């Protein structure tokens, strides 16, 4: 019996659509905040299998989500390569920025296996308990991970990143190549530990020009998917090129993914015409509609269900759930989808 989400990624229009939410384990849940309070820092939570397993499973238990996404972070990869990383309250992630060849040369892929070992243990534990839900492993895409590594954290325009891509394309390519190879190792290890689907988060894909998008989003994604499929032919991959706009169609067609995450800004009824038929669409409720609840949540949800009906579709948000989301709005959303 194939699980519902995996049927959709195989090209079947399952109705009502299987549902999970990006960042479904997180601060909006009181049971998450309780674990977080005695876990120490965020990286410790990600690398303590007992706690990471517990928080991964919390939203599946509470809501019966169709997927459990490994509790970890896309910035675990630079951390595992030896770049410093801290999560500061109210400030987000902070890393010592990489701006030159010496910074790239200091990254050490030999550290990776040891550093990710506890995360793989979490994958094994979750898989043993996940039941009918699908276990999704994940990584950031090389480009989005490079964004944080080069800026040293978040940014409103990623000026250093785009500057390096234009001014020193050889150095930028070296960093992306290193990240592409490390991502293959990391995701292959998650698959071997029990991840049934893997997702690549490319949150900042939309800041790039079309030329740079093709070079630094589409091409590395294609390489990662091909390498994973060479090792594990049946693995299903979801790519999320956030704010890709009109380029979402060629991204879907050229990278080899089975599903494509659609961000809040895209109209699913138009995206249907761009993305090849057999490729699943995942998305794309506005996280703020989930905060609002009530009639706004209902009409936005119905519009998405109607726009994707007949296509392989995984219901999700268009970006991550935010901490101020009332947990009962998530329950209301799932009730609405299941009654559709
Ligand atoms: O439930 C899940 O979705 C699984 C876990 C997960 C986290 N981060 C946990 C997390 C996943 C899949 C991510 C992905 C991630 N992390 C992305 C891509 C998706 C996106 O949102 O665009 C990005 C860009 C990051 C980097 C990151 N991690 C930032 C910018 C922040 C700080 C902002 C914030 O929300 O606090 C984090 C921290 C983080 N990652 C938290 C969680 C639950 C909050 C940390 C806490 O509990 O204090």
Task: HSE, CB side, 13 Å, CA atoms: give it for residue 56.
Answer: 34
With a 6 Å cutoff on the Cβ, whether 74 touches ligand 1 is yes
With a 6 Å cutoff on the Cβ, whether 143 touches ligand 1 is no
Could you tell which of 320, 325, 327, 330 is best to mutate to test the pocket of ligand 1, judged by most ligand atoms within 8 Å of the CB? 320
| pLDDT at residue 62 is higher than 90 | yes
Q: Taking residues 59-85, what's their average pLDDT?
A: 98
Whether 137 has a binding-site annotation, put simply, is no
Whose C-alpha lies nearest to ligand 1, atom 8?
A: 73
Model ipTM value: 0.93
Q: Where are the alpha helices (DSSP H) in 257-326?
A: 268-274, 287-292, 294-308
CA of 333 relative to ligand 1 center, distance in Å: 22
With a 6 Å cutoff on the Cβ, whether 60 touches ligand 1 is no
Confidence of residue 268 (pLDDT cuts 50, 70, 90): very high
Q: How far apart are CA 292 and CA 324, in angstroms?
A: 10
CATH architecture, domain 4-338: Alpha-Beta Barrel (3.20)
pLDDT, tens only, 203-242: 999 999 999 999 999 999 999 999 999 999 999 999 999 9
CA of 181 relative to ligand 1 center, distance in Å: 22
| pLDDT at residue 1 is higher than 80 | no
Q: Taking residues 125-143, what's their average pLDDT?
A: 98
| pLDDT at residue 183 is higher than 80 | yes
Q: 239 vs 131, 165, 203, 319, CA distance in Å?
A: 24, 22, 10, 13
With a 6 Å cutoff on the Cβ, whether 320 touches ligand 1 is yes
CA 86 to chain centre: 20
List Cβ<8 Å contacts ≥24 apart for 225-234.
225/255, 225/256, 225/257, 226/256, 227/184, 227/188, 228/184, 228/187, 228/188, 228/191, 228/198, 229/256, 231/188, 231/191, 232/188, 232/191
pLDDT of residue 88: 85
pLDDT of residue 205: 98
Whose C-alpha lies nearest to ligand 1, atom 9?
A: 73
Which of 67-76, 89-98, 126-135, 178-187 is least confident? Answer: 89-98
Q: CB–CB of 86/94 below 8 Å?
A: yes
Tokens of 15: 């109705």
Whether 25 has a binding-site annotation, put simply, is yes
Q: Is 186 a catalytic residue?
A: no
Determine the length of the chain. 340
| pLDDT at residue 90 is higher than 90 | no
Q: What share of the chain in percent tops pLDDT 70? A: 100
pLDDT of residue 89: 80
Tokens of 101: 């060849």
Whose C-alpha lies nearest to ligand 1, atom 46?
A: 42
Q: Is 148 a catalytic residue?
A: yes
Q: Is 272 a catalytic residue?
A: no
Q: How far apart are CA 187 and CA 228, in angstroms?
A: 8
Domain layout of the chain by residue ranges: 4-338
Confidence of residue 176 (pLDDT cuts 50, 70, 90): very high
pLDDT of residue 195: 98
pLDDT of residue 91: 85
Nearest to residue 132, comparing CAs of 295, 4, 274, 286? 4
With a 6 Å cutoff on the Cβ, whether 240 touches ligand 1 is no
Whether 24 has a binding-site annotation, put simply, is yes
Whether 73 has a binding-site annotation, put simply, is yes
Burial class (CB in 10 A: 0-12, 13-18, 19+), 273: exposed
Question: Which helix (H) or strand (E) segment is 102 a member of?
Answer: helix 101-105
Q: Identify the active-site residue in 32, 63, 73, 263.
A: 73
Asked whether the whole model's pTM tops 0.95, one would answer yes
Confidence of residue 142 (pLDDT cuts 50, 70, 90): very high
Q: Is 124 a catalytic residue?
A: no
């Amino acid at each position: 019996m194939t699980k519902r989400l995996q049927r959709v990624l195989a090209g079947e229009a399952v109705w009502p659509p299987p549902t999970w939410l990006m960042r479904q384990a997180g601060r909006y849940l009181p049971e998450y905040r309780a674990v977080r309070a005695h876990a120490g820092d965020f990286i410790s939570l990600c690398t303590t299998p007992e706690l990471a397993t517990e928080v991964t499973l919390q939203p599946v238990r509470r809501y019966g989500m169709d997927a459990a996404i490994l509790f970890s972070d896309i910035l675990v990869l630079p951390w595992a390569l030896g770049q410093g990383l801290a999560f500061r309250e109210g400030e987000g992630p902070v890393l010592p920025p990489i701006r030159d060849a010496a910074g790239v040369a200091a990254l050490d892929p030999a550290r990776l296996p040891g550093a990710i070992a506890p995360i793989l243990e979490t994958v094994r534990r979750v898989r043993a308990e996940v039941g009918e839900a699908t276990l999704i492993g994940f990584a950031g895409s090389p480009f989005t991970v490079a964004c944080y590594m080069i800026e040293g954290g978040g940014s409103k325009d990623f000026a250093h990143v785009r500057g390096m891509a234009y001014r020193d394309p050889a150095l930028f390519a070296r960093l992306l190549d290193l990240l592409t190879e490390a991502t293959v190792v990391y995701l292959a290890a998650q698959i071997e530990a029990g991840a049934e689907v893997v997702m690549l988060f490319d949150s900042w894909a939309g800041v790039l020009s079309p030329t740079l998008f093709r070079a630094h989003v589409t091409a590395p994604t294609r390489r990662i998917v091909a390498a994973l499929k060479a090792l594990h032919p049946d693995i299903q991959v979801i790519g999320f090129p956030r704010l890709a706009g009109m380029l979402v169609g060629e991204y879907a067609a050229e990278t080899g993914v089975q599903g494509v995450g659609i961000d809040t800004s895209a109209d699913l009824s138009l995206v249907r015409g761009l993305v090849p038929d057999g490729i699943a669409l995942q998305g794309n409720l506005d996280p703020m509609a989930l905060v609002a609840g009530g009639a706004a949540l209902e009409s936005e949800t119905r519009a998405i269900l109607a726009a994707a009906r007949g296509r392989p579709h995984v219901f999700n948000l268009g970006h991550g759930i935010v901490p101020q989301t009332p947990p009962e709005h998530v329950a209301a959303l799932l009730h609405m989808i299941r009654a559709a």
